[in-house]
Structure formats: structure tokens, C-alpha cells
Amino acid sequence: MDAGLRVGELAQASGLTVRTLHYYEQIGLLTPSRRSTAGHRLYDAVDAERLYRICLLRRLDMGLGEVQRAIDDPAWDLATALRTHLAALDERLEATARLRSRVAGALASEDTDLLAVVEAMTALEPSAQQRITLLVYADIGDAHAWLVRTFGLVPGRLVHDGDGAAVHGEVYAGDGVIWLHPQQETYRLASPRSLGASTAGVAVLVDDVDAHHVSSVAAGVDVRQEPVDQSYGYRVYSAYDLEGHLWSFMKALD
């Protein structure tokens, strides 16, 4: 008899969905220890304990990339991670406070047409609200999983078409979102893998450039520049991803 929990049983016990557990497996966060003779996923006590730790860290609102580092990287430091997370929460609170001030200002206005007041306040703000980086990949599904697993980015949406092919992906680096876009001949969009050259780069701020570099080297990443202190005030290393996009990971020098 096969011992262990099947995916549905683990989902019920943890309060997660089967789809979530499948996704955790896809990105390498939680892999079942073995399969039954019939090919079903089986999770043992070690797997269940790992999931428990994942759930605890997720309750702190940590991204999946940070959770994976917390569990798998022996050099990961809880205090540093919590300080970074606290700073992000403070930014959200400040944004919420600004929004509250706007709403309170609208309510306090003597103008009885509150909708007109809110529209006028909104019109004073810049129309550009967010910058989204777009990178083109030949295989969005593989790129999405690789960027999360290897560079520690936080996974966002992964959209599939009716045939099951990934047609849109999103990953997060801090407060910045990166869209993964398919190749399109109409708009002359191609992956560096197809072009044979990288035509753009992405720069990401990290807590520890050298630790991130060590992790990338261990994962077999094509590092093009070792960590170095640059004259413009940052310590930087650069590497190519699985399809040839150039990424630079950096931190401001003290």
C-alpha cells in the first residue's frame, strides 16, 4: 500500500487548492517526495512540514520567491527579510494614507458634487501611473518558472490559451512588474534566442549582490560580469537568462 498524502488530501488539510499545490511544484517550491504505483503524487511528512513553513511565511505576506529563498538558502536571514518586508509594508501604508487624505479632502469640500471634486483631484495627477517592463520569450512558461526559481523573482500571473500554451506571464522584482511577452512577427518582437543578440537589459536592486551572484553561479547561470563596484555608486553583476536577456543585479554602495 502506498503511504503518504495525495495532492487532494494535502490540499484539504492545508486549506490550499490543488491548483496552488501544482503551481508550487511547477516552480520548484514544493515537490512531492514520490509517486504512487498508479502515478499519483504522494507527499510525506517532510513535504507536509515544508508546506507548513511555506504557509507561515506566506501569512507574513512574503512573495513566493522570498519564501523559497527562506526555505532553501542556508544564508537567508529572517531579520533582514523582515526589515525589507516591513519597508514595503510602510510604502503601502503611505500610499493608503495619501489616498485617505484625498478622499477626506473630497468629503470636506464645500462643493456638493463630490464626483466632480474627485475627478478634478485626479486630473491634477500625472497620467502615467506605472512603468511595466516587457521582455520577449520564445517559451513563456519555461521563462516564468526559470526566473522565479533561478533569479528569485516573485511569480505573478501565467496565462494560457485554449491549447494550454503560455501566452502571457508576469513576474515581480520588488515593486516593479515584468511582463513576459510571446514572439510576434507582426510587431517584430523576438527573443534574444532567435535574434542571437540581446537588445535590452533589466536592472534589479537586491539586498546582497554577492549572495545573489553565488546563487546564480550555483544554478549554472551564464554570468557575464562578476560583482564589481562601479564608479556610479553601485556594486553590480550581470548575467544572461535562459533565452539571452541581460540582467544586472545591483546594490548602492555605502
DSSP secondary structure string, 19-85? HHHHHHHHTTSS--SEE-TTS-EEB-HHHHHHHHHHHHHHHTT--HHHHHHHHH-TT--HHHHHHHH
Within a domain: 160? yes
Measured between alpha carbons, how far is 243 from 196 in angstroms, rounded to an integer? 10
Within a domain: 178? yes
Within a domain: 175? yes
Q: Is the same domain home to 137 and 82?
A: no
Q: Is the same domain home to 190 and 82?
A: no
Q: Is the same domain home to 137 and 247?
A: yes
Measured between alpha carbons, how far is 102 from 131 in angstroms, rounded to an integer? 23
Per DSSP, the three-state class of 196 is coil
Indicate the range of 50-54, 134-138, 240-244, 245-249 predicted with least confidence: 50-54
Q: Is the same domain home to 196 and 242?
A: yes
Q: Is the same domain home to 159 and 242?
A: yes
Q: Is the same domain home to 233 and 137?
A: yes
Residues 6+ apart with CB under 8 A from 236: 209, 225, 227, 228, 230, 248, 249, 250
Residue span of the structural domain in which 104 resides: 78-123
Q: Is the same domain home to 169 and 140?
A: yes
Task: Give me the CATH number covering residue 38.
Answer: 1.10.1660.10
Q: Is the same domain home to 174 and 242?
A: yes
**Mean confidence (pLDDT) of the chain:** 85
What is the mean pLDDT of the segment spanning 114-142? 75
Closest CA to 29 of 3, 6, 63, 59: 63
Contact 153, 172 (CB under 8 A): yes
Q: Is the same domain home to 108 and 149?
A: no
Q: Is the same domain home to 189 and 94?
A: no
pLDDT surpassing 60 at residue 47: yes
Within a domain: 64? no
User: Which uninterrupted H or E stretch holds 173?
Assistant: strand 166-173
Q: Is the same domain home to 153 and 246?
A: yes
Most confident of 56-60, 112-116, 173-177, 208-212: 208-212
